[in-house]
Amino acid sequence: MEGIRILVCMKVVPKPEEVRINPETKTLDRARARSEINPPDLNALETALQLKERWNGWVGVISMGPPFFEPYLRTALAMGADAAFLLSDRAFAGADTLATAYTLARGIARVGAYDLVLCGEESSDGATGQVPAQIGEWLGIPHVTYASRVEFLPEARKVKVRRELGGGYEVVAVPVPVVISVRAGINQPRFLDPLRMPWAEDAPITVWSAKDLQVDPELVGSSGSPTTVAGVQEAVRRERRREILVGSVAEKAALLADRLQDLLREIL
């Protein structure tokens, strides 16, 4: 029986608590922030690895970014992925979600045969949730968002997906190939496999430039991004107020009612 071929889109993001915004360029300043694999993408990778083990499949990870992303791709290899692809070129810099999805779609097409493209539901730095569906549109294949369960139906060459909705869920069956974004936290990503780590440290990572992907230069990077950040403003931090009420139960209740009334007046 033919196995399943899966590509997982993986983004390397700065740790949210350490990221800063460059006020001049209005872009993320990574200089002082440590990086990590986008957490929902790890859930997508774990989903892919479980499907690989169930159906004797193949899993590749693909990412767009600078060369320092390579160690994070090796982490995915050590977890169980079979191949890694990095789309890296200065021409890709400054991309919004549309240009990012276009570049990833070109990379996915270059990889070749695949059944599933799995993504995390959104990235922790952008949090738009737009890229998975846009990849599907660029590739011209179906896309299913907010999946909490993915089941492969090999005889029918379909996947059955449970997707979460407000107040409930729905189950859809979709022919492959298909792009699926998975919900954050739907599984527990595995640890690195110590037996794979020596191989992962030296495994070749395929790096493709804009020329390799034969992209339209008007559709990548800042040139291909119809959206720009017009301004950046830091949110005002509100300090938590704490007051210990003393007295009898009745006295404390009366004081609490007074404080709540004062708070409501401030808000309204």
19-23, 120-124, 141-145: segment of lowest average pLDDT? 19-23
DSSP state of 70: H
- pLDDT for 174-231, tens place per residue? 999 999 999 999 999 999 999 999 999 999 999 999 999 999 999 999 999 999 877 7
Mean pLDDT of all residues in 159-186: 95
What gap in Å lies between CA 40 and CA 20, rounded to an integer?
21
Q: Rounded to whole angstroms, how far apart are CA atoms 100 and 36?
A: 19
Residues forming a β-bridge with 182: 120, 147
- What does the pLDDT look like over 118-131, one tens digit per residue? 999 999 888 899 99
Confidence band of 166 (pLDDT split at 50, 70, 90) = confident
Please report which helix (H) or strand (E) contains residue 251, including its range: helix 249-267
Q: Which residues contact 45 (CB under 8 A, 6 or more apart)?
A: 8, 10, 59, 61, 76, 79, 81, 118, 189
pLDDT band at 30 (very low <50, low <70, confident <90, very high): low
Q: Please say whether the beta carbons of 94 and 27 come within 8 A.
A: yes
Q: Quick check: 268 pLDDT over 60?
A: yes
Select from 40, 220, 32, 236 the least CA-distant residue to 126: 40
Domain 5-219 has CATH 3.40.50.620: yes
Q: What residues does each domain of the chain span?
A: 5-219, 240-268
